[in-house]
Amino acid sequence: MTMTLGDRFGRSFPYLRLSVIDACNYSCTYCLPSGFRATSCRPPQLATDEIRRLLAAFALAGMRKVRITGGEPSLRRDLDEILAIAAAQPGIEKVAMTTNGCLLLRRVSAWKDAGLTHLNVSVDALERERFAAITGHDRLPDLLAGIDRALGLGFGAVKLNAVLLKGLNDDQLPAWLDYLRDRRVSLRFIELMRTGDNLEYFQRHHLRASVVEEKLRAGGWRELPRAVDAGPAREYAHPEFLGRIGIIAPYSKDFCAGCNRLRVTSTGDLRLCLFGEAGIPLRPLLQDDAQRDQLLATLGIQLGEKDAGHRLHEGETGLTSNLSTIGG
């Protein structure tokens, strides 16, 4: 059985974000300020055989890109095997991962050898104390060395994610510009998203991405034309800088119109939207290779339920108490 996953709004979904673990070792103030706490009745994360069946089915259904995320994906001991499984699926062209980079310096070459093609690293500040205050870990020098190593390995892309936080890192733009002048790396400023856990924090620290965009335009940065298959970022370039700056603004109009992604949690629940209410367990259909057609049929039916857009502007956060549960 082959098919293309599409919904009733004419969108297709070649991109899967798969969380492989819910635990994270960082305690970012906007996500897990008290650190990750395991609950006693927590179901086990997907095993590599379940991941293989899942990715094989999604690849048959037209998936071309998978992003491995978490929690912190590098905390999984079998991460290299997961990357190799993803890279081995016919049709999958991009194997991406989002990481806080705690093991980047030590492991990035092995991840590349295993099949990783695209890398996103979270770097919320370029000043050591500030980075430690936001993430709970004084690891910026090691992280920056890891990024420089990754830049020498020939990845399809290395992107850095920085969540915009009013009063905490909104003075970092000059430092970022210095950094981007001679590094071929794409920085993404992400607007802070409101989740079930961070309501008060959101009110204090949410900063509209348009504030940064105005500063960029004033400094001679120009928005690039959007590629047909572009992600949610509006991307800016400047002739004097090797690096680029992308803006991800989930509260902007039309953010969802270009949605091309589905999500699966570390325990195998399909999520149609990062902030959607709908999530169905796929795990029962991942127990045997012979279940593949049933799994594909279920995916097709579930997509019929996907909404046109999230309702973050209305204060709806869906099932998401924080993004560590599903990977952002």
Where do contacts with ligand SAM occur on this chain (CB under 6 A)?
24, 30-31, 69-70, 72, 98-100, 122, 161, 163, 190, 192-193, 195, 198, 323-324, 327-328
One-letter amino acid of 101: G
State in angstroms the smallest separation of the CB of 219 from ligand SAM.
24
State in angstroms the smallest separation of the CB of 306 from ligand SAM.
21
Return the number of the residue (30 or 176) whose C-beta is nearest ligand SAM.
30
Cα three-residue angle 59-65-68, rounded to 5 degrees: 105
Laid out side by side, the sheet with 15-19 consists of 222-223, 234-237, 244-248, 186-191, 157-164, 118-122, 94-99, 65-69, 15-19, 261-264, 269-271, 279-281
Inter-residue contact 188 to 231 (CB < 8 Å) = no
β pairing state of 269-271 and 15-19: unpaired
Q: Which residues contact 285 (CB under 8 A, 6 or more apart)?
A: 291, 294, 295, 298
State in angstroms the smallest separation of the CB of 190 from ligand SAM.
5
Return the number of the residue (6 or 170) whose C-beta is nearest ligand SAM.
170
Task: Report H helices in the chain.
Answer: 48-60, 79-87, 104-114, 128-135, 140-151, 173-180, 199-205, 209-218, 292-303
One-letter amino acid of 138: D
State in angstroms the smallest separation of the CB of 60 from ligand SAM.
27
Closest CA to 146 of 116, 168, 117, 120: 120
Return the number of the residue (246 or 327) whose C-beta is nearest ligand SAM.
327
Closest residue to ligand SAM: CB criterion = 328
State in angstroms the smallest separation of the CB of 163 from ligand SAM.
5
Return the number of the residue (100 or 169) whose C-beta is nearest ligand SAM.
100
State in angstroms the smallest separation of the CB of 247 from ligand SAM.
13
Q: Which residues pair with 159 in a beta bridge?
A: 120, 186
Return the number of the residue (59 or 192) whose C-beta is nearest ligand SAM.
192
Return the number of the residue (51 or 192) whose C-beta is nearest ligand SAM.
192
